[in-house]
Each structure stands twice: as C-alpha cells, then as structure tokens.
A and B are shown apart, each in its own frame.
Chain A
Amino acid sequence: MLSAELERYVAEIKAHAIGYGLDFFDVIFEVIDFEEMNMLASYGGFPVRYPHWRFGMEYEKISKSYSYGLHKIYEMVINNDPSYAYLLKGNTDVDQKLVIAHVYGHSDFFKNNFWFSGTNRKMLDEMANHAVRVRRYVDKYGYREVENFMDGCLSIEDIIDIHSPYINRRPETKSVLEEGENGRVPASKLRSPNEYLEDYINPSEFMEWQRERSEQERIKKRNFPESPERDVLLFMLDNAQLEEWKKDLLSMIREESYYYAPQVQTKIMNEGWAAYWHSKMLTEKIITDGEIIDYADHHSGTLATSPGALNPYKFGLELFRDIEDRWNKGKFGKDYEDCDDIEERKNWDRKVGLGREKIFEVRRFYNDINFIDEFLTEEFCREHGLFTYNFNRSTGMYEIESRDFRKIKEKLLFLLTNCGRPIIEIMDGNYMNRGELYLVHKHEGVDLKMDWAKDVLINLSVVWTRPVHLETVSQGKVRVLSTDGELKDVEVK
C-alpha cells in the first residue's frame, strides 16, 4: 500500500523510464519498516522460504549491522514477473525516488539480459511452494532429520553447471539401429550437391577420420557419465540411491542455485546498469533543486570505494559510461585500435553517437565475464586506479601486486570464471565398478581450500550414499581424497 505521494513518484519515474527506452516487468512496490526489510533481505528477498538456520544467520548479520549503524538496506528487488520491490519506510523523498529509479533499472535488466532468460519468472510462488514442501517433510520426518540433510545439501549447492541453461549438453539419443553392419559405425558424410564432387567433399582420409570419431563417440557412450559432468547435483538426482523426499529437497536446492546463478554472473553489470539509470533519470529529469544535495550524498555513499575494494556498483557504472562515451565518439574499430598517438586517441571524436544503442546491446547479450573481457581497456584501468593484490606470506598481509593492465584483466576474469568457484567434474559415476563417484578438480593454478574440500566430500558421500573420491592438485602434487570408510588423503605422483 503506497502513500499517494509515493504513488505519484512511481508513476512519474516509470514514465521517464519508458521514455528512455527501458523495458521492464510490472513492478509492485511495497513500503516496509526496517525490521521487515532485514527479515526479507535475510530470506534473499522472498517473503516465504523453507525453515532453516541459514536465514537466521543472515538475519543476525544484517540486523546487527543495521542496529550498529554500519549498513542500511534501502531497496530490494526480486527477479520475478511482476517484479517485487521493497522501499524502506521513513526514507526521505529523494532516497525513495532514487530507489524507485534504481529498481526499474534492475527490472529492465532481469527482463532483457540473456543470462536471465532461463530463470523462473514465477519464483515467488516457487519459493513459497518449496517452503510448503519442506514443512511437510518436517512434519513427516522430523525437524532434525530434514535439517541435517539440508545442511549437507548447502555444502554442495554450488556444484552446478552454470552454463547448462543455455547449452544442450545432452544430445538426444539416437536409435541404436543406426549402427552399421558388422558393428562398424557408419561415418557421417557431408552433403555433396553433385555426384562428381563427392570425392572432393568427402575424401577418403576425411571419411576415415569421421569413422574414427564416431567410433570414439560410441566408446564414450559406455562411460558413465558419457562426458565429464559439471552439474553434480543433477547427476546425484538422476543416479543417487536416495529416498524420494531427500531427492525432492536436493532438487529444490538445485533449482534455487540455478535461479541465483545469473545474479552472481551479472552482479557488476546489473548493479552498474541500475546505478547508471538512477543517476541519469534523477539528475536529468526528476530531482528538484532543493533535493540535489541529498541525492549527491546518497549516490556517493552507494558508489564509495573503501581502500582496496572494488565496488561493483561503481565499477559497473563507470564501465557502462565508458562504453557509451567510446561509442558516441567512435572510439572503436580498426582505425582507433591502430592509432598509437596518445594525444590523438584521447581527443578522438568521430561524433557517431552510437553510445546509447551500444549500452542497450551490451545489457542484452553480456555477462560480467565477456563484459570485462571486451570492454575493459587499459585507459580505463589507469584512470580508475585499478590494481591486483595478493597475499604476502612474509608480511602476512594483502599487498598491491601490480597495476599492469593484462594482469588486472586476467585476475578479474579468473575471479569471475564459474562465479569464482573451482571447477569440479564427475569423471566416473561407477568408479572401480563399485558405484563410487570419482570427481576431478580442474586445477587452474590455485589450490583448493583443502580442509573444506574434505568436509564437502564427506557431505557428498552422504548424498551419494557410496564412497566419493576427489582428484586435485595441492602444492604441485596430484592428490586423491577419498571417503572410503574414513577420509583418506593419498598423494599420487
């Protein structure tokens, strides 16, 4: 229930947002007090969640930091159709306007960004649905039983394949009848328009190569899973010897993980986009002279950088602005890239005016990784004083390591790859023909946090109900952790 005044702000800002070309879900605003805001934030924005202490833990953190004046949540918005957004009661008018504009930015991003295309837009209902199911299991099997299983699931909730919603990883199974005579696999030919071209399009070496490949494919099919599987949770759901209710719990956890994954994958862009639009709309259209000071105060608070930290709001906003500026001035393409004259590059302006169009395109197709990969420039890094830091063992502190552009970009991309999580794959679901699970950590130069890895493995083995092994590299040596009876840690090479 909005006051007439807020109702007016919403209508005004919505009209401006549409005028700028934003395209969003319907947004339902609710005004709530700080206690409710803290509670909702603890629940990840959803009013009804399943019972679990993790939300209580969030609440502990959020409410304490609120009551000691360290942190205040002004706004929250849920990716849902319609989007739900919460406004904090008692905020000043300027704050509310800023928040409303910000929310429309987010809602536009949710609706249009490709990486959100696979998310459930009725998640509010789905979450409530999960809550009901979990409560039923609690009634039936007891609080402790359900909670203990949930705790284990939480530990493995992020071992999913974040790209799977966009790729068909499992080609449809072909009929076995397609197998050729003598068990030989027929090689797939390329289509030739004319008979006489056949030998050129499908030369015998090529046919032999194709045959070999098909043969390998067939052998691979005997593997289980066929190819290394990153969606460990799905594999568990399909194959683990679990009671149905536990599978159901696991599937809910997995669904929620997939729901949140795009928010992690686009954190910088999403926040940057919303900040871009609130500042544009407020400064150009909405704010009155008397409000400008309050606006500036709040806006700079949102974008403040503490030493050493990278603020996703600021970083995203600046990068969007940089893109807009570059495409307005035509600072792209071969001519610009080839130009070595610093002065000339700086003053480059072809007045092409493609900036607005470009940023809308970027918000449509990119996620944080290719956003940075494609648009982070050396000039930008220098201008904004970016650096990489690392832990120095001898001083026991994190220290600035480098300001080299390539290193910064490399580090950023590494941190964002797979949402900053190590890549774990199931290599064998029937290891040693004993129904054991064999996982491999794809080592990218950084070791696993070993004590945690051991505990996660134990949690995995509880869900899998059979021993689980993990191959990883630690301090330059290949090691295999196993939960066979008790936890073993064997050095292989």
Chain B
Amino acid sequence: MNPYCLTLFLIETKERRLILKIEQDWGRFREIVRGKIKENLRKYIVHSELIGKKGKDLISIPVPQIEVPHFAHSPQKIGGVGQGDGKEGTPVGVGEIEGDRHAGNQAGSHILEVELTLDEIAKILGEELELPNIEPRGKENIKSFTGRYTNIHTSGPESLKHPKRTFKEALKRQIIIGSYDPLDPVVVPISEDKRYKSREAIEKPAYNAVVIYIMDVSGSMGNEQKEIVRIESFWIDTWLKYQYKDIDTKYIVHDAVAHEVDRDTFFRIRESGGTIISSAYRLCRKMIEERFPPDEWNVYVFHFSDGDNWSRDDTGDCIEILEESFLPKINLFCYGQVESPYGSGQFYYDLEDNLGKKENLILSKIPEKDSIYHSIKQFLGRGK
C-alpha cells in the first residue's frame, strides 16, 4: 500500500472512532462491575465461584456480565437439544442452549471461559480492584537490567527506523511550512524527520518477601468459612506473587496451639478445639525473628479467624505482640474475620478499639463469599 495513503487513512479512522463512543459505555459498565456505582445492579453480576488451576499456571476466568432479570424459564428444568455422540445418560457440556436468547441482541449471553496465566490474572485483578503497586522495602541492590524497544529517538540505526512516525513528522513539517498540498499529497521525509525505535533500560531491583498465612481451625470454623479463606488467600497470593517474583509463603494453623503446616494441609485441615490466638502470634513472631528478619524482608501476615478468642487476657497478649513485635517491623498485618454461627466476633472489635489507628494494620470483615472482593481491596488497596 502506498504510504502516503496510510497516513491519511489513520487520521480518518481516528475521527470515526470518536463518533463510536463505546468508551463511555464501557467505562460505565466497568464502574458498575467494580461496585462504584449502581449498587442495585451488583447482585446481577455473574462472577466465578471457584478458581481452578489448569496445567501449569493457567486458569479459567469468566468475563463479568450483568444479567438483567427477565421473565425466563427456570434453566435447569428446560434442558435443550444437542448434536453429537453419546448414549442416554452421557453428560454433555453446556453449550449454546437454543432458548437462551434475548430480543435485545442477536448474541446469546453465555459466559466465555478465558485461559490466562497467573501474571495476567494478577494484572486484571490489580486493574479491577485498582490496587496500587506495592512499594517494597529492603535491600535495594540492583539485580538486572532488561530492555524494551518502547522509546523513540531522533537518531539510530536504519534497521530500527520507525516509518510511521517518520512520515508523521514529515507531514507535520510540510503542513507547517506550507509545502503540503492535499490535492497532491506528496510527503517526502528529510533526515530531520527520521525517527528510530530505541531501547529503554529498565532496572529490576531485588526484593525479598514472605507471606505468612494464619488460620483459625478451631471447632467453630466450618467448611464454608474455610472456603472463604481459601479463595481469598488464593487471590492475595496471586497478587503478591505478581508483585514480587520470588516470594516465600508460610502457613500456620491454630486452635489452642499453633503449628506450622504446608500449603496442602493448610487448606484441608479440620480440627476442633478451643481458640487461643496468641499461640499463633507467638509462633509467627518466632518465625519472623529467626528466619525473616524484617530489615531484609518484606513481611506480610494475614490472619483469618471467626474472632471468638478464648479469653480477654489472651486477646490482651495478642494486642501486645502486635503492637510491639509486628506492627513496627513488618509491612502489613491483615486480619480478616469470617462469620460463624457460633462466634461472637469480639476479636475484631478489640483490635479496632486498641490498634485501629495503626496504618499497617488492616481489619476486614468477610461475612460471606460476596464480601471477598471488597475484603481483598481493603487488604491490598494501600500499596504497602
């Protein structure tokens, strides 16, 4: 194609795009999904219930959609017609069900499953929740330089010439000096117009980070509560892993005594017993002191419990540990309280009353699955 035409065509499409204005509607939709506006529509947002890893680090993610209610048949009773092999009783994937169509648009409203890497997921998460990038502490020794060809320079090797930008400059110059004739659009670049791609060096500093998850597994924590903890810590893990490349994770469970466990056990274990939170805090303190000195490590602690501590004295101990050993040293201490039918949830209020003003202590209530979204935002929204 003739390059002169190309320049003109670019200008033309740009104008056309302004007419389309999808950005406004799109932005509006995203704001609704993020929960910023129109609370009444939130309950119609369709989101995933479970995060499944596929293969190495692939995951399927649904696209958020708002399903406006209509008079509709109950989908599970309606069934459908399909095509393919199989005997009676063979399960079929739910494909495009013919009845699932609305008058408003030709396309049906099925959810698309998209495969993404965890890094992409984290990016989307960060974007959706408007999470700030974390400002790390620690040894700021430079690890490496990498480069990407994202800059434009006025000099460089011919092999890196950027023809589009070069022509643009030439066009600009000719319009300015008046030598451009729209009827005979000849654009001739001279050497001052030439533009080259250039490499931009990016410094990648090395940071150490550790995340310690503490979960209350006392008798009052049911399966549903643990499910909440599991989903929430998965997302937190994803985000922090995206922010720090080589992150360490440690897991502590406690009822009346605390143990360090591996990841698998952390999510599967079901114990029953009383609740002495300070036991976990002591173990965690020991762990940090011995293995992760805070002047070299970015330390994050997430504690999930139903907030029904054994005694007031013990809560006092916890507050003391938090105040003296954790908060002055570590990046962030997050306490997420799930709601259980048995617990009083007093621990949340105790922390709030005593330490509510500390800026690296974040408290969050997670009464149900739908609150996870909000809670993650609370925990990670400060960029610590």
Which residues of A are in contact with B by a Cβ distance under 8 Å? 33, 35-36, 39-44, 47-48, 51-61, 64-65, 68, 70-71, 151, 154-160, 256-257, 260-261, 263-264, 267, 305-312, 314-315, 384-391, 393, 395, 397-403, 408, 411-412, 415-416, 419-422, 424, 441, 446-453, 455-456, 459
5 A-B residue contacts at CB 8 Å? A157-B104, A257-B103, A307-B82, A386-B83, A398-B93
Q: How far is the CB of A59 from chain B (nearest CB, A)?
A: 5
Contact of A400 among B40, B82, B104 (CB under 8 A): B82
State whether the Cβ of B27 lies closer than 8 Å to any Cβ in chain A: yes
Contact of A36 among B13, B26, B68, B96 (CB under 8 A): B13
Across-interface contacts of A395 in B (CB, < 8 A): 91
Q: How far is the CB of B378 from chain A (nearest CB, A)?
A: 25
Cβ proximity bits B11-50 to A, threshold 8 Å, 1 near / 0 not: 0010011011110111111101000001011000000000
Which of B29, B69, B90 has the most chain A CB within a 10 Å cutoff?
Answer: B69
Across-interface contacts of B159 in A (CB, < 8 A): none
Number of residues on chain B facing chain A (CB within 8 A): 66
Chain B, residue nearest A42 (CB)? B22
Across-interface contacts of A451 in B (CB, < 8 A): 69
Which residues of B are in contact with A by a Cβ distance under 8 Å? 13, 16-17, 19-22, 24-30, 32, 38, 40-41, 63-66, 68-107, 112, 114-116
Q: Are B81 and A389 in contact (CB under 8 A)?
A: yes
Q: How far is the CB of B73 from chain A (nearest CB, A)?
A: 5
Across-interface contacts of B71 in A (CB, < 8 A): 158-159, 421-422, 424, 441, 448, 452-453, 456
Q: Are A447 and B74 in contact (CB under 8 A)?
A: yes
Contact of A398 among B20, B25, B79, B98 (CB under 8 A): B79
Across-interface contacts of A40 in B (CB, < 8 A): 20
Across-interface contacts of A449 in B (CB, < 8 A): 72-75
Q: Are A151 and B22 in contact (CB under 8 A)?
A: no
Q: How far is the CB of A146 from chain B (nearest CB, A)?
A: 12
Chain A, residue nearest B82 (CB)? A308
Across-interface contacts of A154 in B (CB, < 8 A): 68, 104
A-B contact count (CB 8 A): 258
Q: Are B103 and A389 in contact (CB under 8 A)?
A: no
Complex Cα spacing A412 to B97, Å: 10
Q: How far is the CB of A448 from chain B (nearest CB, A)?
A: 6
Across-interface contacts of A305 in B (CB, < 8 A): 83-84
Chain B, residue nearest A67 (CB)? B114
Complex Cα spacing A406 to B84, Å: 18
Q: Are B104 and A260 in contact (CB under 8 A)?
A: yes
Contact of A64 among B85, B88, B114 (CB under 8 A): B114
Q: Are B79 and A308 in contact (CB under 8 A)?
A: no
Across-interface contacts of A441 in B (CB, < 8 A): 71
The answer to whether A446 and B74 touch (CB under 8 A), given A56-B29, A384-B83, A391-B79, is yes
Q: Are A397 and B79 in contact (CB under 8 A)?
A: no
Across-interface contacts of B93 in A (CB, < 8 A): 306-309, 398
The answer to whether A389 and B92 touch (CB under 8 A), given A36-B17, A415-B81, is yes
Given contacts A70-B112, A388-B80, A400-B88, 12 further A-B contacts (CB under 8 A): A43-B20, A60-B65, A64-B63, A68-B115, A154-B104, A155-B69, A158-B70, A158-B102, A159-B71, A415-B81, A446-B77, A448-B73
Across-interface contacts of A43 in B (CB, < 8 A): 20, 22
Across-interface contacts of A70 in B (CB, < 8 A): 112, 114
Q: How far is the CB of B68 from chain A (nearest CB, A)?
A: 5
Contact of B19 among A47, A312, A386, A421 (CB under 8 A): A47
Q: Are A399 and B90 in contact (CB under 8 A)?
A: yes
Q: Are A52 and B85 in contact (CB under 8 A)?
A: no
- Please provide the 5 A-B residue pairs with the shortest distance between their CB atoms, ordered closest to farther: A309-B95, A308-B92, A420-B99, A56-B29, A56-B25
Complex Cα spacing A451 to B200, Å: 55
Q: Are A415 and B82 in contact (CB under 8 A)?
A: no
Q: Are A59 and B69 in contact (CB under 8 A)?
A: no
